[in-house]
Amino acid sequence: MIRIAIMDDYQNVALRMADWSKLGPDVDIVSFTTHLPTSDEAAPLLQDFDVMVCMRERMPVPRALIERLPKLKLIVFTGSHSQMIDLEAAAERDIPVCRTSGKPSSSAAEMAWALIMACVRNLPREDANVRAGHWQTTVGTTLEGKTLGLIGLGNLGGMVARYGRAFGMNILAWSANLTQERAEEHGATRVNLDDLLRSSDIVSIHLKLSERSVGLIGRGELDLMKSSAILINTARGPIVDEVALIDALRSRGIRGAGLDVFHHEPLPADHPFRRLDNIVVTPHLGFVTEEGYQSFYGGALEVIQSWRAGNLINRYAA
C-alpha cells in the first residue's frame, strides 16, 4: 500500500480536482485540510506516508521534518518553483522532489486587477456599508489616464499591462533585467524604480521571491510614492517590508494597498492588516481557481504515476 498525503487542502477539494483512482486500488490518499506550520506538528501525522503533495509554498518542508519521516520516498509540489523544501536534505535521503508542469495561468494577473478595482472604488467598504443600511459613503477614482507602475514585466506583469492598456492607463515598468524591447512589446515605458514609484498611481508587484527581491519595497521606497497611490502585491509577501507598509498605511503616506500575499500564511489572527481601514486583504487567492487546482492536482497525479512506473518526470532543480 502506497500512502499519499495531500497537504494544506484548505477547501477540502483536492480529491475531486483529479482522478486519483488512476493510481489503482493499492493507494491510500489522505487530504490534510489543517495547516501544519512546524515540524513538531507535522512529523507525527506524516510519519507513515510515502508521498507528500504540497500545494505551492503553503507548507515548509525543512530538514528537521524530512529527517523524521522514515517512509517518505517522493515530494511533489504544485507550480514551477519552491523555496520551502530543503532539497539538500531530500537528496541525502534519495527522495526526489518534483514540480508540476503547465502553461502560465492568467488567474494571478486577474487577481491583481480585482484588487486594483476593489481599492480604487472602495468596494469592500461600500459592500459592508450597504449591508449595514448606508448608501454611498466613499468617493472612488477612475483609472483612465492614470499611471500603472509594474515592478516586474514577465508573464504575469505582461498580462496586467495588457489589462491596464484596456483601461486607458499609462504603463511604466521596471525590473533589474527589463529590456527596452520587452517594455515596448507590452506598451510600457521602461524607467528606474525610483521614478516608477514617484510617478505611478497604482504600483503592482510581479516579481519572483529571491535574495535580490526580499525587502525591495521598504520605508524609503514607500516614501517615494504619492500619498494618493495604491500598492498591489500578488507576488510574494517578503518583497514588501510589512512593518514599513503598516506605518505608511497608518500615517496615510499612501492611500491604500491590496494584498494577496503575506510574510506568514495563513495571516495571524492578531495581524495589523486585519484592522487597517485602507487596505484590501485576500487569502492568497491568486492561483485558487477551479482551473488552477485541476491543473495542479492533475499534474501531481501525473508525477506520481511516472514515479510508480519508474520513469519519473518533472524532477526539480532550484
Which CATH number belongs to the domain containing residue 89 in this structure? 3.40.50.720
Q: Judge if 116 and 230 occupy the same domain.
A: yes
C-alpha cell at 189: 515605458
Whether residue 83 is predicted with pLDDT greater than 80 in this model: the reply is yes
Same domain, 233 and 114: yes
Note the pLDDT of residue 318.
66
Residue 316 domain-assigned (yes or no): no
Q: Which domain holds residue 79?
A: 2-103+290-309
Average pLDDT for 49-77:
97
pLDDT digits (tens, 9 = 90+) for 98-155: 999 766 679 999 999 999 999 999 999 999 999 999 999 999 999 999 999 999 999 9
Catalytic residue among 56, 99, 236, 255: 236
76 plus 41 within the same structural domain = yes
Residue 50 forms part of a structural domain: yes
Give the cell for residue 27.
493507494
Same domain, 180 and 253: yes
Are 211 and 122 in the same domain? yes
284 assigned to active site: yes
Using omega within 30 degrees of 0 as the cis cutoff, is the peptide bond preceding 283 cis? Answer: no
236 counts as catalytic: yes
Strand, helix or coil for residue 279: strand
pLDDT tens, position by position, 198-249: 999 999 999 999 999 999 999 999 999 999 999 999 999 999 999 999 999 9
Q: Which of 284, 290, 302, 308 is catalytic?
A: 284
**Average pLDDT of the chain, as a whole number:** 96
Catalytic hit among 182, 265, 271, 308? 265
Question: Does a structural domain hold residue 37?
Answer: yes
Total domains, the chain: 2
- One domain, residues 145 and 73: no
Query: What is the C-alpha to C-alpha distance for residues 180 and 293, in angstroms, rounded to an integer?
Result: 35
Are 284 and 265 a contacting pair, CB within 8 Å? yes
85 and 188 housed in the same domain: no
Residue 318 is assigned to a structural domain of this protein: no
- If asked whether residues 80 and 222 sit together in one domain, one would say no
pLDDT digits 0-9 by tens, 272-313: 999 999 999 999 999 999 999 999 999 999 999 999 999 999
Q: Are 259 and 144 in a shared domain? A: yes
